[in-house]
Structure 1
């Protein structure tokens, strides 16, 4: 394979060349990635040249920033690595931020904080802002402000014809609608302008229980009842995390199943609102407090080191406590034989409002997410039956939380959204150049 002549620095990387394996290193380590060519893109011109090169040779194109949500293994084709494209620029007057394709949310939070502004980021500061937003973007303030995709002003994207386009709701309403919700299936987004919200501080943290002292199903039921009473400005989640008994963990976590409720609230009376949760039972830890938004990543304290995991998600119409309790039983360490994490996100509020993008299932009441650290085959054996328990109340899956354990496209969109996406895909990528990503065709 020859290299595109207009991409000479930094060097294009082929298998076996120094730096090739390093360029493929990312957060999700379970998949084998062996593209025929890696393009370490520095700017939109590099991306444009790479897409043209791939299109001329009918090679599929994959996109990679941080590697948190890989859809599956990659063999052959061209992988565009955008992690070097990491410029952030905040305009406090218009309450917007411009980000390049490789920017991580932690950078945006830090850049916006001096102005008393915040992005609609997720729980982990190491996640890429662009990929997260293209998949919808379910953040820690989601019930108050909606999806991150709902706040995008414009996108710079290289489409399959090798054109760099600036896309706005006015310039191309169809492509704008499709990009925000379809992930990387329609092109390589090299940057975007996103609205910020005026949040300087919040009330948040985690209330954790030891699963040996308080039945996880009891916490789940109390949580579901509590969510019926909370204001729209409060976003929360429930999680059950079984920790292995290993020296690498703090002593208070080793061998425990920690059940927690995580909270982010921008309004008053935080302590009063969470009081019913504190009455559930003996508390293992309580980090709920007023905090600057720049510390919001401590609410979830997501792992910041690369590791192997597979998972999937189900947007459900309601939180059927009985069914989810059975899921907790099946994914517990004794039944599953592997570490499985179950998280339930409370939806509704601003997430249920219509927006000019393709983020589906806005009528959903909750999102159930499951991850396992087993290999992929074992992950399917554990997770598929667990999700089957939820089938009667499941509307579909969430693209940002489909971590390679299931089909690349099934259930990611309702029928009407999928049909419209397929039509737009056929116009902008008729040869399915971006087939290495989650699919929207058919």
Structure 2
């Protein structure tokens, strides 16, 4: 009877204990999951799932995700290729640390693991973050994934081939909506002729600011040349795929992929540079540039004595044969200038061209009054445009919610501490340093 009673009590208690145990385990599992989530770093995954971003806030991770996806979309649009990524790219956003100034702003690491290739990009988030540097490093990571996409097994310790710098700069320069005026100007004013082999072997990290701009301009010209060739975009995609097996001769590698360079590669290269530098002629001049150019045209020299042509003087007398030739030359130059001038100054330039044509034909009636009226209008336009520039400068300096970035390079250079030259340790220098210290004391 006692045994039967114990069994009955156990039959009542055990289900309750079992229920309590299950409830306890369930509650503990909830707390455990919450603690694990609190300890694990926050992350964001891009829409294509290729970019996994750790660190920073949700807003920053979202901005990096958007920039990464846009950079990849621009590259795929240039190559006209679908998105066939295989290896995810881990982006680690780490804050700038004052006690570790040697940490680079960006570091790309590629390694081979048991589960496959791993790509990780470490970005240091500083207060003066350079978005162009971030875009460049994201493009480097995307291209590196494309280069080794078909490489299944990579032996440990093998040196990885990174995409060349000219490819990075050229692709970025061809981004839709990118301002290329500075690159075109760098090519047009450059006095140095650079061969293709010399350019491909340059190290842009060792160049100064002007040299770096010229390098980016040449990169833009080269990539534009390659994609404009026969099946150029498809061939550029194949060239990227073959970079893992590239040789030490970059010119030969390009010739093997692009028929446009198969013949006289150097002549084709120089022609591409000339064509790119000439693109500046099809861009409209600013008002100040148009004013300067118009002044230069109106100061045309006479061939016999080297004196400047005086339109106001010719309005009251007959022009000589040399002056008529100079007037015809001025009229032709002004016709070409009208298409390139700032729209505000085009009517002024057209008036000057018409007056030059009239004086060349010996028709001086009313030219003096017209010349004075045009000169007055030009002075009024100059004063008005100066006021507009002053207002825009004031607005940019005081009213914009964010910096324009125009003086970013100057501010960055000014904020960097000037490196002091190491002291010489020869006897005379040591003696002079000791004397200087005594005088300072």
TM-score bracket, shorter-length normalisation: under 0.3
Q: Which has the higher strand share?
A: 1
Which is helix-richer, 1 or 2? 2
Q: Larger relative CO (CA 8 A, sep 6+): 1 or 2? A: 1
What TM-score results when the alignment is normalised by the length of structure 1? 0.21
Larger radius of gyration: 2
